[in-house]
Protein backbone atom coordinates (compact mmCIF):
# COMPACT_ATOMS: atom_id res chain seq x y z
CA UNK A 1 0.00 0.00 0.00
CA UNK A 2 1.27 3.45 -0.88
CA UNK A 3 -0.02 6.37 1.19
CA UNK A 4 0.58 9.98 0.15
CA UNK A 5 0.10 12.68 2.77
CA UNK A 6 -0.33 16.37 1.96
CA UNK A 7 0.90 18.53 4.85
CA UNK A 8 3.52 17.32 7.29
CA UNK A 9 2.69 19.04 10.56
CA UNK A 10 0.07 18.30 13.23
CA UNK A 11 -2.35 15.98 11.43
CA UNK A 12 -0.08 14.81 8.64
CA UNK A 13 2.97 13.93 10.72
CA UNK A 14 0.85 12.18 13.35
CA UNK A 15 -0.84 10.11 10.66
CA UNK A 16 2.49 9.19 9.05
CA UNK A 17 3.94 7.94 12.34
CA UNK A 18 0.77 5.99 13.21
CA UNK A 19 0.64 4.44 9.73
CA UNK A 20 4.15 3.16 10.13
CA UNK A 21 3.45 1.77 13.57
CA UNK A 22 0.52 -0.15 12.10
CA UNK A 23 2.08 -1.22 8.81
CA UNK A 24 5.81 -1.80 8.42
CA UNK A 25 5.32 -2.57 4.72
CA UNK A 26 3.46 0.58 3.63
CA UNK A 27 5.19 3.12 1.42
CA UNK A 28 4.53 6.51 3.03
CA UNK A 29 5.33 9.80 1.30
CA UNK A 30 4.69 13.19 2.93
CA UNK A 31 4.70 16.39 0.86
CA UNK A 32 5.14 19.57 2.86
CA UNK A 33 5.08 22.98 1.20
CA UNK A 34 7.12 24.77 3.85
CA UNK A 35 10.74 24.01 4.60
CA UNK A 36 9.99 22.20 7.84
CA UNK A 37 8.19 19.07 8.96
CA UNK A 38 6.27 18.50 12.19
CA UNK A 39 7.18 21.94 13.50
CA UNK A 40 5.75 23.37 16.68
CA UNK A 41 3.23 25.91 15.32
CA UNK A 42 1.92 26.51 18.82
CA UNK A 43 5.39 27.58 19.93
CA UNK A 44 5.95 30.13 17.15
CA UNK A 45 4.79 33.26 19.06
CA UNK A 46 7.11 32.34 21.93
CA UNK A 47 10.12 32.20 19.63
CA UNK A 48 9.30 35.71 18.43
CA UNK A 49 9.15 36.95 22.03
CA UNK A 50 12.25 35.06 23.11
CA UNK A 51 10.67 32.66 25.64
CA UNK A 52 11.85 29.90 23.29
CA UNK A 53 15.41 30.85 22.48
CA UNK A 54 16.63 27.97 20.39
CA UNK A 55 15.22 27.80 16.88
CA UNK A 56 15.95 24.07 16.82
CA UNK A 57 13.32 23.63 19.55
CA UNK A 58 10.64 24.55 17.03
CA UNK A 59 11.78 22.00 14.51
CA UNK A 60 12.76 18.95 16.51
CA UNK A 61 11.84 16.63 13.65
CA UNK A 62 13.59 16.73 10.31
CA UNK A 63 13.02 14.70 7.15
CA UNK A 64 16.14 12.75 8.12
CA UNK A 65 14.93 12.00 11.65
CA UNK A 66 11.54 10.97 10.28
CA UNK A 67 13.20 8.63 7.84
CA UNK A 68 15.48 7.19 10.49
CA UNK A 69 12.70 6.49 13.00
CA UNK A 70 9.75 5.73 10.72
CA UNK A 71 11.09 5.19 7.21
CA UNK A 72 8.71 7.88 6.04
CA UNK A 73 9.77 9.76 2.90
CA UNK A 74 9.23 13.41 3.88
CA UNK A 75 9.76 15.94 1.11
CA UNK A 76 9.76 19.50 2.35
CA UNK A 77 9.43 22.44 -0.01
CA UNK A 78 7.18 20.27 -2.15
CA UNK A 79 3.71 21.58 -2.92
CA UNK A 80 0.92 19.33 -4.10
CA UNK A 81 -0.80 21.38 -6.80
CA UNK A 82 -3.51 19.00 -8.00
CA UNK A 83 -5.29 15.78 -7.12
CA UNK A 84 -6.48 13.41 -9.85
CA UNK A 85 -8.89 11.03 -8.11
CA UNK A 86 -9.66 9.03 -11.27
CA UNK A 87 -5.98 8.26 -11.86
CA UNK A 88 -5.18 8.17 -8.13
CA UNK A 89 -2.25 10.53 -8.59
CA UNK A 90 -1.25 13.96 -7.31
CA UNK A 91 0.77 16.59 -9.13
CA UNK A 92 3.67 17.92 -7.09
CA UNK A 93 5.91 20.93 -7.55
CA UNK A 94 9.40 20.89 -6.08
CA UNK A 95 9.64 24.47 -4.86
CA UNK A 96 13.46 24.37 -4.81
CA UNK A 97 14.06 23.17 -8.36
CA UNK A 98 10.75 24.07 -9.95
CA UNK A 99 10.37 20.48 -11.19
CA UNK A 100 6.80 19.20 -11.52
CA UNK A 101 5.93 15.51 -11.35
CA UNK A 102 3.05 13.16 -10.64
CA UNK A 103 3.01 10.78 -7.71
CA UNK A 104 0.62 7.86 -7.47
CA UNK A 105 -1.23 6.78 -4.34
CA UNK A 106 -3.43 3.98 -3.08
CA UNK A 107 -4.66 6.17 -0.21
CA UNK A 108 -4.36 9.93 0.03
CA UNK A 109 -4.52 11.87 3.28
CA UNK A 110 -5.03 15.63 3.21
CA UNK A 111 -3.85 17.64 6.22
CA UNK A 112 -3.21 21.04 4.60
CA UNK A 113 -4.35 23.06 7.61
CA UNK A 114 -5.73 26.58 7.51
CA UNK A 115 -4.14 29.79 6.30
CA UNK A 116 -4.38 33.18 7.96
CA UNK A 117 -7.51 34.89 6.68
CA UNK A 118 -6.45 37.72 4.40
CA UNK A 119 -9.34 39.75 3.09
CA UNK A 120 -8.61 41.69 -0.09
CA UNK A 121 -8.00 44.97 1.74
CA UNK A 122 -6.20 47.89 0.11
CA UNK A 123 -2.48 47.77 0.92
CA UNK A 124 -2.59 44.13 2.01
CA UNK A 125 0.68 43.35 0.20
CA UNK A 126 2.78 46.02 1.93
CA UNK A 127 6.11 45.29 3.58
CA UNK A 128 6.02 45.48 7.39
CA UNK A 129 2.72 43.61 7.21
CA UNK A 130 3.00 40.04 8.47
CA UNK A 131 0.96 36.91 9.08
CA UNK A 132 1.95 34.00 11.30
CA UNK A 133 1.50 30.40 10.31
CA UNK A 134 4.80 28.74 9.52
CA UNK A 135 8.37 28.68 10.77
CA UNK A 136 9.28 30.84 7.78
CA UNK A 137 6.70 33.47 8.84
CA UNK A 138 8.18 33.39 12.33
CA UNK A 139 11.73 33.85 11.15
CA UNK A 140 10.61 36.74 8.95
CA UNK A 141 9.01 38.54 11.88
CA UNK A 142 11.94 37.83 14.17
CA UNK A 143 14.47 39.03 11.57
CA UNK A 144 12.45 42.18 10.95
CA UNK A 145 12.43 42.96 14.66
CA UNK A 146 16.16 42.30 14.99
CA UNK A 147 17.05 44.43 11.97
CA UNK A 148 14.57 47.31 12.24
CA UNK A 149 13.97 47.55 15.99
CA UNK A 150 10.29 48.51 15.64
CA UNK A 151 8.85 50.44 18.54
CA UNK A 152 5.20 49.82 17.85
CA UNK A 153 2.96 47.16 16.41
CA UNK A 154 -0.68 46.93 15.47
CA UNK A 155 -2.22 43.49 15.65
CA UNK A 156 -5.40 43.03 13.67
CA UNK A 157 -7.43 40.33 15.36
CA UNK A 158 -8.26 39.24 18.87
CA UNK A 159 -7.99 35.47 18.92
CA UNK A 160 -5.34 33.14 20.29
CA UNK A 161 -2.55 34.12 17.91
CA UNK A 162 -3.10 37.89 18.28
CA UNK A 163 -3.20 37.66 22.07
CA UNK A 164 -0.08 35.50 22.25
CA UNK A 165 1.71 37.84 19.88
CA UNK A 166 0.63 40.87 21.91
CA UNK A 167 2.25 39.40 25.00
CA UNK A 168 5.42 38.42 23.18
CA UNK A 169 5.80 41.80 21.47
CA UNK A 170 5.21 43.59 24.79
CA UNK A 171 7.95 41.40 26.27
CA UNK A 172 10.23 42.81 23.57
CA UNK A 173 9.27 46.35 24.62
CA UNK A 174 7.02 47.26 21.69
CA UNK A 175 3.94 49.40 22.05
CA UNK A 176 1.12 47.12 21.05
CA UNK A 177 -2.36 48.02 19.87
CA UNK A 178 -4.87 45.33 19.14
CA UNK A 179 -7.72 46.10 16.76
CA UNK A 180 -10.62 43.71 16.65
CA UNK A 181 -14.05 43.95 15.02
CA UNK A 182 -16.01 42.13 17.75
CA UNK A 183 -16.25 44.05 21.00
CA UNK A 184 -14.32 41.40 22.88
CA UNK A 185 -11.19 39.30 22.65
CA UNK A 186 -11.21 35.53 22.44
CA UNK A 187 -14.62 34.53 21.15
CA UNK A 188 -14.80 31.21 23.02
CA UNK A 189 -15.32 33.34 26.14
CA UNK A 190 -18.56 35.14 26.91
CA UNK A 191 -18.24 38.91 27.13
CA UNK A 192 -18.40 38.93 30.95
CA UNK A 193 -15.48 36.53 31.23
CA UNK A 194 -13.54 38.36 28.53
CA UNK A 195 -13.70 41.48 30.73
CA UNK A 196 -11.04 39.95 33.00
CA UNK A 197 -8.85 39.29 30.00
CA UNK A 198 -9.26 42.83 28.72
CA UNK A 199 -8.24 44.22 32.12
CA UNK A 200 -5.18 41.99 32.12
CA UNK A 201 -4.16 43.14 28.64
CA UNK A 202 -4.62 46.78 29.58
CA UNK A 203 -2.65 46.27 32.83
CA UNK A 204 0.21 45.04 30.68
CA UNK A 205 0.06 48.05 28.42
CA UNK A 206 -1.74 46.56 25.43
CA UNK A 207 -4.13 49.10 23.89
CA UNK A 208 -7.41 47.55 22.93
CA UNK A 209 -9.41 48.96 20.06
CA UNK A 210 -12.39 46.66 20.21
CA UNK A 211 -15.43 46.95 17.98
CA UNK A 212 -13.29 48.59 15.28
CA UNK A 213 -12.89 47.40 11.73
CA UNK A 214 -9.60 47.47 9.83
CA UNK A 215 -10.31 48.67 6.29
CA UNK A 216 -6.85 48.65 4.78
CA UNK A 217 -3.22 49.67 5.06
CA UNK A 218 -1.13 52.48 3.61
CA UNK A 219 2.62 53.02 3.61
CA UNK A 220 3.70 56.01 5.67
CA UNK A 221 7.44 56.36 5.09
CA UNK A 222 9.06 53.64 7.14
CA UNK A 223 5.78 52.98 8.92
CA UNK A 224 2.32 51.63 8.16
CA UNK A 225 -1.00 53.36 8.57
CA UNK A 226 -3.72 50.96 9.56
CA UNK A 227 -6.97 52.35 8.23
CA UNK A 228 -9.87 52.01 10.64
CA UNK A 229 -13.51 52.53 9.65
CA UNK A 230 -14.87 55.91 10.86
CA UNK A 231 -11.68 56.72 12.76
CA UNK A 232 -8.23 58.16 12.27
CA UNK A 233 -5.66 55.58 11.17
CA UNK A 234 -3.31 53.90 13.61
CA UNK A 235 0.34 54.30 12.72
CA UNK A 236 2.84 51.60 13.63
CA UNK A 237 6.25 50.23 12.69
CA UNK A 238 4.85 46.79 11.97
CA UNK A 239 1.47 45.12 11.59
CA UNK A 240 0.42 41.52 12.02
CA UNK A 241 -2.81 40.34 10.48
CA UNK A 242 -4.30 37.63 12.73
CA UNK A 243 -8.02 37.93 12.17
CA UNK A 244 -8.64 34.21 11.94
CA UNK A 245 -7.92 31.28 9.69
CA UNK A 246 -9.51 29.83 6.57
CA UNK A 247 -9.26 26.15 5.57
CA UNK A 248 -6.47 25.76 3.01
CA UNK A 249 -8.54 23.65 0.68
CA UNK A 250 -8.08 24.93 -2.86
CA UNK A 251 -6.70 21.51 -3.82
CA UNK A 252 -9.71 19.68 -2.45
CA UNK A 253 -12.11 22.09 -4.14
CA UNK A 254 -10.41 21.72 -7.52
CA UNK A 255 -10.50 17.93 -7.17
CA UNK A 256 -14.26 18.04 -6.65
CA UNK A 257 -14.36 16.96 -2.99
CA UNK A 258 -17.53 17.96 -1.14
CA UNK A 259 -16.95 21.10 0.91
CA UNK A 260 -18.63 22.68 3.95
CA UNK A 261 -18.28 25.85 6.04
CA UNK A 262 -15.71 28.32 4.63
CA UNK A 263 -14.64 25.76 2.04
CA UNK A 264 -13.65 23.16 4.63
CA UNK A 265 -13.51 19.52 3.54
CA UNK A 266 -16.52 17.38 4.44
CA UNK A 267 -15.58 14.12 6.14
CA UNK A 268 -17.45 11.40 7.99
CA UNK A 269 -16.46 10.24 11.47
CA UNK A 270 -13.86 7.92 9.90
CA UNK A 271 -12.23 11.02 8.36
CA UNK A 272 -13.18 9.85 4.85
CA UNK A 273 -13.96 12.53 2.29
CA UNK A 274 -16.66 12.28 -0.39
CA UNK A 275 -14.11 10.71 -2.77
CA UNK A 276 -13.03 7.09 -2.24
CA UNK A 277 -9.56 6.53 -0.78
CA UNK A 278 -9.11 10.20 0.12
CA UNK A 279 -9.06 11.09 3.80
CA UNK A 280 -8.77 14.54 5.38
CA UNK A 281 -8.00 15.79 8.89
CA UNK A 282 -7.15 18.86 10.94
CA UNK A 283 -7.93 22.52 10.44
CA UNK A 284 -9.03 21.84 6.87
CA UNK A 285 -12.06 19.73 7.81
CA UNK A 286 -15.53 20.48 9.09
CA UNK A 287 -16.33 18.74 12.36
CA UNK A 288 -19.42 18.09 14.46
CA UNK A 289 -19.48 20.10 17.65
CA UNK A 290 -19.53 17.55 20.43
CA UNK A 291 -22.01 19.54 22.54
CA UNK A 292 -24.40 21.05 20.00
CA UNK A 293 -24.07 18.44 17.27
CA UNK A 294 -23.83 21.33 14.82
CA UNK A 295 -21.32 21.64 12.01
CA UNK A 296 -18.29 23.61 13.14
CA UNK A 297 -14.74 24.66 12.37
CA UNK A 298 -12.44 24.33 15.36
CA UNK A 299 -8.82 24.92 14.47
CA UNK A 300 -6.88 23.37 17.30
CA UNK A 301 -3.91 21.05 17.57
CA UNK A 302 -5.56 18.36 19.70
CA UNK A 303 -8.30 17.51 17.19
CA UNK A 304 -5.81 17.54 14.29
CA UNK A 305 -3.54 15.06 16.07
CA UNK A 306 -6.40 12.77 17.06
CA UNK A 307 -7.94 12.84 13.60
CA UNK A 308 -4.54 12.01 12.05
CA UNK A 309 -4.35 8.93 14.20
CA UNK A 310 -7.94 7.91 13.36
CA UNK A 311 -7.40 8.34 9.62
CA UNK A 312 -4.25 6.22 9.81
CA UNK A 313 -6.13 3.49 11.67
CA UNK A 314 -8.82 3.43 9.01
CA UNK A 315 -6.36 3.51 6.12
CA UNK A 316 -4.85 0.39 7.66
CA UNK A 317 -8.19 -1.39 7.73
CA UNK A 318 -9.33 -0.40 11.23
CA UNK A 319 -12.55 1.26 12.29
CA UNK A 320 -11.71 4.31 14.41
CA UNK A 321 -14.25 7.10 14.77
CA UNK A 322 -13.93 10.77 15.64
CA UNK A 323 -16.58 11.76 18.19
CA UNK A 324 -16.53 15.50 17.43
CA UNK A 325 -14.71 18.51 18.83
CA UNK A 326 -15.44 20.28 22.09
CA UNK A 327 -13.13 23.21 21.40
CA UNK A 328 -11.21 22.83 24.66
CA UNK A 329 -8.56 25.51 24.72
CA UNK A 330 -6.20 27.28 27.07
CA UNK A 331 -4.09 30.38 26.64
CA UNK A 332 -1.46 32.20 28.67
CA UNK A 333 -2.15 35.93 28.88
CA UNK A 334 0.93 37.34 30.59
CA UNK A 335 0.70 35.71 34.06
CA UNK A 336 -2.99 34.91 33.65
CA UNK A 337 -4.59 31.82 32.17
CA UNK A 338 -7.87 31.73 30.26
CA UNK A 339 -9.45 28.45 29.27
CA UNK A 340 -12.71 27.15 27.91
CA UNK A 341 -14.42 23.96 26.84
CA UNK A 342 -17.74 23.11 25.23
CA UNK A 343 -20.05 25.99 24.39
CA UNK A 344 -20.30 29.35 26.05
CA UNK A 345 -23.61 30.93 26.98
CA UNK A 346 -23.79 33.02 23.81
CA UNK A 347 -23.28 30.03 21.53
CA UNK A 348 -25.55 27.76 23.54
CA UNK A 349 -28.35 30.27 23.08
CA UNK A 350 -27.51 30.69 19.40
CA UNK A 351 -27.78 26.91 19.07
CA UNK A 352 -31.27 27.12 20.51
CA UNK A 353 -30.39 25.46 23.81
CA UNK A 354 -32.35 26.66 26.83
CA UNK A 355 -29.45 27.15 29.21
CA UNK A 356 -28.64 28.42 32.67
CA UNK A 357 -25.31 29.38 34.19
CA UNK A 358 -23.44 29.90 37.38
CA UNK A 359 -20.35 31.93 38.08
CA UNK A 360 -18.09 31.28 41.04
CA UNK A 361 -14.79 32.65 42.30
CA UNK A 362 -13.01 29.86 44.13
CA UNK A 363 -9.39 29.85 45.30
CA UNK A 364 -6.92 27.80 43.32
CA UNK A 365 -5.90 26.00 46.51
CA UNK A 366 -6.68 26.10 50.23
CA UNK A 367 -6.78 29.71 51.42
CA UNK A 368 -4.55 29.02 54.40
CA UNK A 369 -1.71 27.67 52.29
CA UNK A 370 0.38 30.49 50.77
CA UNK A 371 0.11 31.46 47.15
CA UNK A 372 -3.52 30.67 46.37
CA UNK A 373 -5.21 32.91 43.79
CA UNK A 374 -8.85 33.47 42.96
CA UNK A 375 -10.15 32.18 39.64
CA UNK A 376 -13.44 33.02 37.97
CA UNK A 377 -15.31 30.01 36.69
CA UNK A 378 -18.44 30.16 34.58
CA UNK A 379 -20.35 26.95 34.03
CA UNK A 380 -23.12 26.70 31.44
CA UNK A 381 -25.70 23.93 31.58
CA UNK A 382 -29.02 22.98 30.07
CA UNK A 383 -32.10 24.01 32.01
CA UNK A 384 -34.22 21.14 33.27
CA UNK A 385 -31.79 18.35 32.29
CA UNK A 386 -28.75 20.03 33.92
CA UNK A 387 -26.58 18.60 31.12
CA UNK A 388 -23.18 20.24 31.29
CA UNK A 389 -22.66 22.33 28.15
CA UNK A 390 -19.51 24.30 28.71
CA UNK A 391 -17.17 26.07 31.06
CA UNK A 392 -14.86 29.05 31.00
CA UNK A 393 -12.22 29.86 33.58
CA UNK A 394 -9.99 32.90 33.94
CA UNK A 395 -7.38 32.99 36.66
CA UNK A 396 -3.89 31.89 37.49
CA UNK A 397 -2.73 28.64 39.06
CA UNK A 398 -4.94 25.61 38.54
CA UNK A 399 -7.11 26.95 35.71
CA UNK A 400 -5.80 24.38 33.25
CA UNK A 401 -6.48 21.52 35.66
CA UNK A 402 -10.09 22.53 36.30
CA UNK A 403 -10.91 23.10 32.64
CA UNK A 404 -9.65 19.64 31.81
CA UNK A 405 -11.78 18.08 34.53
CA UNK A 406 -14.81 19.95 33.19
CA UNK A 407 -13.93 18.98 29.64
CA UNK A 408 -13.78 15.34 30.67
CA UNK A 409 -17.11 15.69 32.46
CA UNK A 410 -18.71 17.09 29.30
CA UNK A 411 -17.24 14.30 27.22
CA UNK A 412 -18.63 11.76 29.67
CA UNK A 413 -22.07 13.36 29.39
CA UNK A 414 -22.23 14.33 33.07
CA UNK A 415 -24.73 16.80 34.44
CA UNK A 416 -23.60 19.85 36.35
CA UNK A 417 -25.13 18.20 39.43
CA UNK A 418 -22.72 15.27 39.16
CA UNK A 419 -19.75 17.59 39.52
CA UNK A 420 -20.31 17.54 43.28
CA UNK A 421 -19.62 13.81 43.32
CA UNK A 422 -16.29 13.86 41.50
CA UNK A 423 -13.60 12.46 43.76
CA UNK A 424 -10.81 14.96 43.10
CA UNK A 425 -7.34 14.90 44.62
CA UNK A 426 -6.68 17.31 47.46
CA UNK A 427 -3.79 18.59 49.53
CA UNK A 428 -3.55 22.28 50.58
CA UNK A 429 -0.89 23.31 48.01
CA UNK A 430 -3.05 21.98 45.17
CA UNK A 431 -6.72 22.41 45.91
CA UNK A 432 -9.37 22.56 48.60
CA UNK A 433 -11.24 19.66 50.12
CA UNK A 434 -14.13 21.02 48.09
CA UNK A 435 -12.45 21.57 44.75
CA UNK A 436 -13.71 24.45 42.58
CA UNK A 437 -15.27 21.88 40.26
CA UNK A 438 -17.11 20.29 43.21
CA UNK A 439 -18.21 23.78 44.28
CA UNK A 440 -19.89 24.31 40.92
CA UNK A 441 -21.77 21.06 41.54
CA UNK A 442 -22.85 22.15 45.02
CA UNK A 443 -24.13 25.44 43.66
CA UNK A 444 -26.08 23.68 40.93
CA UNK A 445 -27.56 21.35 43.49
CA UNK A 446 -28.79 24.33 45.52
CA UNK A 447 -30.37 25.77 42.39
CA UNK A 448 -32.00 22.46 41.52
CA UNK A 449 -33.40 22.10 45.04
CA UNK A 450 -34.72 25.65 44.99
CA UNK A 451 -32.50 26.65 47.92
CA UNK A 452 -31.19 29.62 45.99
CA UNK A 453 -32.28 31.73 43.04
CA UNK A 454 -29.87 33.82 40.97
CA UNK A 455 -29.64 37.11 39.18
CA UNK A 456 -26.94 38.27 36.81
CA UNK A 457 -24.92 41.26 35.64
CA UNK A 458 -27.28 41.85 32.75
CA UNK A 459 -30.22 42.10 35.21
CA UNK A 460 -28.74 44.73 37.53
CA UNK A 461 -29.48 47.88 35.53
CA UNK A 462 -33.16 46.96 35.16
CA UNK A 463 -33.78 46.28 38.85
CA UNK A 464 -36.28 48.81 40.23
CA UNK A 465 -34.79 51.54 42.42
CA UNK A 466 -38.23 52.68 43.65
CA UNK A 467 -38.31 50.73 46.90
CA UNK A 468 -40.42 47.92 45.48
CA UNK A 469 -37.44 45.56 45.95
CA UNK A 470 -34.50 45.62 48.36
CA UNK A 471 -31.00 45.76 46.91
CA UNK A 472 -28.55 44.49 49.46
CA UNK A 473 -24.75 44.39 49.56
CA UNK A 474 -23.49 42.04 52.27
CA UNK A 475 -19.79 42.89 52.17
CA UNK A 476 -17.91 44.80 54.86
CA UNK A 477 -18.34 48.58 55.02
CA UNK A 478 -14.76 48.94 53.75
CA UNK A 479 -15.43 46.79 50.70
CA UNK A 480 -18.69 48.60 50.07
CA UNK A 481 -16.98 51.99 50.28
CA UNK A 482 -14.46 50.81 47.70
CA UNK A 483 -17.22 50.46 45.11
CA UNK A 484 -20.72 49.04 44.86
CA UNK A 485 -23.57 48.73 42.44
CA UNK A 486 -25.87 51.72 42.35
CA UNK A 487 -28.80 51.54 44.75
CA UNK A 488 -27.49 48.63 46.82
CA UNK A 489 -27.48 49.24 50.60
CA UNK A 490 -24.85 47.76 52.84
CA UNK A 491 -25.63 45.31 55.62
CA UNK A 492 -22.64 43.01 56.24
CA UNK A 493 -23.70 39.37 56.31
CA UNK A 494 -22.51 38.93 59.90
CA UNK A 495 -24.88 41.70 61.05
CA UNK A 496 -27.83 40.58 58.97
CA UNK A 497 -29.67 38.52 61.60
CA UNK A 498 -29.59 41.53 63.96
CA UNK A 499 -30.70 44.05 61.34
CA UNK A 500 -33.53 42.19 59.67
CA UNK A 501 -35.91 44.99 60.63
CA UNK A 502 -34.12 47.18 58.04
CA UNK A 503 -35.35 44.92 55.26
CA UNK A 504 -38.96 45.61 54.27
CA UNK A 505 -41.11 42.54 54.61
CA UNK A 506 -42.93 41.14 51.63
CA UNK A 507 -40.56 42.53 49.03
CA UNK A 508 -38.01 40.59 47.00
CA UNK A 509 -34.37 41.00 48.05
CA UNK A 510 -31.49 41.06 45.58
CA UNK A 511 -28.18 40.33 47.30
CA UNK A 512 -24.64 40.94 46.16
CA UNK A 513 -21.27 40.34 47.86
CA UNK A 514 -17.72 40.13 46.56
CA UNK A 515 -17.73 36.59 45.19
CA UNK A 516 -21.26 35.24 45.66
CA UNK A 517 -20.55 33.29 48.83
CA UNK A 518 -21.59 35.73 51.55
CA UNK A 519 -24.61 36.76 49.52
CA UNK A 520 -25.55 33.08 49.29
CA UNK A 521 -25.32 32.81 53.09
CA UNK A 522 -27.45 35.96 53.35
CA UNK A 523 -29.99 34.52 50.93
CA UNK A 524 -30.32 31.41 53.03
CA UNK A 525 -30.85 33.55 56.16
CA UNK A 526 -33.50 35.60 54.40
CA UNK A 527 -35.19 32.77 52.56
CA UNK A 528 -35.72 30.90 55.80
CA UNK A 529 -37.47 34.00 57.11
CA UNK A 530 -39.85 34.10 54.19
CA UNK A 531 -38.11 36.56 51.86
CA UNK A 532 -37.99 35.92 48.12
CA UNK A 533 -34.24 36.28 47.75
CA UNK A 534 -31.95 36.36 44.70
CA UNK A 535 -28.20 35.80 44.83
CA UNK A 536 -25.95 37.69 42.43
CA UNK A 537 -23.96 35.11 40.46
CA UNK A 538 -20.28 35.98 40.25
CA UNK A 539 -20.28 38.68 42.92
CA UNK A 540 -19.16 42.28 42.76
CA UNK A 541 -15.82 41.04 41.33
CA UNK A 542 -17.59 40.09 38.13
CA UNK A 543 -19.90 43.10 38.16
CA UNK A 544 -16.96 45.48 38.58
CA UNK A 545 -14.91 43.71 35.91
CA UNK A 546 -17.74 44.06 33.40
CA UNK A 547 -18.61 47.68 34.22
CA UNK A 548 -14.97 48.78 34.34
CA UNK A 549 -14.39 47.05 31.03
CA UNK A 550 -17.28 48.94 29.46
CA UNK A 551 -15.95 52.21 30.81
CA UNK A 552 -12.42 51.48 29.58
CA UNK A 553 -13.74 50.57 26.14
CA UNK A 554 -15.58 53.88 25.94
CA UNK A 555 -12.52 55.79 27.04
CA UNK A 556 -10.25 54.03 24.51
CA UNK A 557 -8.63 56.56 22.29
CA UNK A 558 -10.67 56.98 19.15
CA UNK A 559 -7.64 57.64 17.00
CA UNK A 560 -3.96 56.95 16.41
CA UNK A 561 -1.50 55.51 18.89
CA UNK A 562 0.61 58.62 18.33
CA UNK A 563 -1.59 60.54 20.74
Q: Count of residues binding ligand FAD (CB under 6 A)?
A: 34
Helix H or strand E encompassing 198: helix 191-203
Any contact of residue 44 with ligand FAD (CB under 6 A)? yes
Interface characters, 306-345, with ligand FAD (x: CB under 6 A)? ----------------------------------------
From the candidates 42, 316, 533, 559, give the one annotated as an active-site residue: 42
Tell the smallest beta-carbon distance from residue 95 to ligand FAD (Å): 9
Is residue 99 within 8 Å of 235, Cβ to Cβ? no
User: Which stretch in 28-36, 120-128, 472-480, 536-544 sits in contact with ligand FAD by CB under 6 A?
Assistant: 28-36
> How far is the C-alpha of 430 from the C-alpha of 242, rounded, in Å?
36
Site for ligand FAD in 138-177 (CB under 6 A): 160-161
CB nearer to ligand FAD: give 263 or 302. Answer: 302
DSSP string, 154-177: EEE--SHHHHHHHHHHHHTT-EEE
CB nearer to ligand FAD: give 92 or 375. Answer: 92
Tell the smallest beta-carbon distance from residue 167 to ligand FAD (Å): 12
Helix H or strand E encompassing 511: strand 509-512
Q: Which of 10, 257, 259, 447 binds ligand FAD (CB under 6 A)?
A: 10
Any contact of residue 38 with ligand FAD (CB under 6 A)? no
Is residue 109 within 8 Å of 125, Cβ to Cβ? no
Is residue 6 within 8 Å of 37, Cβ to Cβ? no
Q: How many residues does the chain have?
A: 563
CB nearer to ligand FAD: give 96 or 385. Answer: 96
Any contact of residue 225 with ligand FAD (CB under 6 A)? no
For the question of residue 559 being annotated catalytic, the response is no
User: Which stretch in 9-17, 337-345, 380-388, 450-458 sits in contact with ligand FAD by CB under 6 A?
Assistant: 9-17
User: Which stretch in 127-135, 184-192, 222-230, 394-402 sits in contact with ligand FAD by CB under 6 A?
Assistant: 127-135
Is residue 48 within 8 Å of 142, Cβ to Cβ? yes
What contacts 358, CB < 8 A, 6 or more positions away? 378, 379, 416, 440, 443, 444, 447, 454, 537
CB nearer to ligand FAD: give 247 or 395. Answer: 247
Q: Which of 236, 278, 304, 414 binds ligand FAD (CB under 6 A)?
A: 304
DSSP string, 358-414: EEE--BSS-TTSTT--B-EEEEEEETTT-BEEEEEEEESTTHHHHHHHHHHHHHTT-
Euclidean distance between the first and the last CA atom of the chain, given in angstroms as a whole number? 64
Q: Treating both helix axes as pointing N-terminal to C-terminal, what angle do 191-203 and 539-555 enclose, rounded to 10 degrees?
A: 60
- Number of Cβ within 10 Å of residue 114's Cβ equals 22
Q: Which of 82, 300, 448, 552 binds ligand FAD (CB under 6 A)?
A: 300
Tell the smallest beta-carbon distance from residue 86 to ligand FAD (Å): 19
CB nearer to ligand FAD: give 228 or 284. Answer: 284
Q: Which of 320, 467, 446, 439 is nearest to 377 (CA)?
A: 439
> How far is the C-alpha of 478 from the C-alpha of 52, rounded, in Å?
45
Any contact of residue 382 with ligand FAD (CB under 6 A)? no
CB nearer to ligand FAD: give 19 or 527. Answer: 19
Tell the smallest beta-carbon distance from residue 531 to ligand FAD (Å): 48
> How far is the C-alpha of 321 from the C-alpha of 270, rounded, in Å?
5
Q: Which of 3, 4, 5, 6 binds ligand FAD (CB under 6 A)?
A: 6
User: Which stretch in 48-56, 66-74, 281-289, 366-374 sits in contact with ligand FAD by CB under 6 A?
Assistant: 281-289
Active-site annotation, residues:
42
Residues that bind ligand FAD (CB under 6 A): 6-7, 9-12, 31-34, 41-42, 44-45, 79-80, 111-113, 132-134, 160-161, 248, 251, 282-284, 299-302, 304
Amino acid sequence: MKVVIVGGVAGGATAAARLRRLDEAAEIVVFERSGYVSYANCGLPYYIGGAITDREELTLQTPESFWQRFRVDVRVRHEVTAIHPAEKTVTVKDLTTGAVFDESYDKLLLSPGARPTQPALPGAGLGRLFTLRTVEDTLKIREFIEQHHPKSAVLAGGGFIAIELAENLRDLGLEVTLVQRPKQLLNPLDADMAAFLHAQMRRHGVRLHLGRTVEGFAADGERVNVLIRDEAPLTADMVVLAIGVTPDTGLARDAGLDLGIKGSILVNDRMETSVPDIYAVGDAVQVKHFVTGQDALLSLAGPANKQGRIAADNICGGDSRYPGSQGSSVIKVFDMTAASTGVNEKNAKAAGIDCDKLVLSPMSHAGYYPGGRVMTMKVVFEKNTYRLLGAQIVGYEGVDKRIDVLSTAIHAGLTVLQLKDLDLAYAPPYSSAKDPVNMAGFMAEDLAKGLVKQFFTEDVAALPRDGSVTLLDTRTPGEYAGGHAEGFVNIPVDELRDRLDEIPAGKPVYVMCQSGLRSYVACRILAQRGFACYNFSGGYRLYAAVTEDRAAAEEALPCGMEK
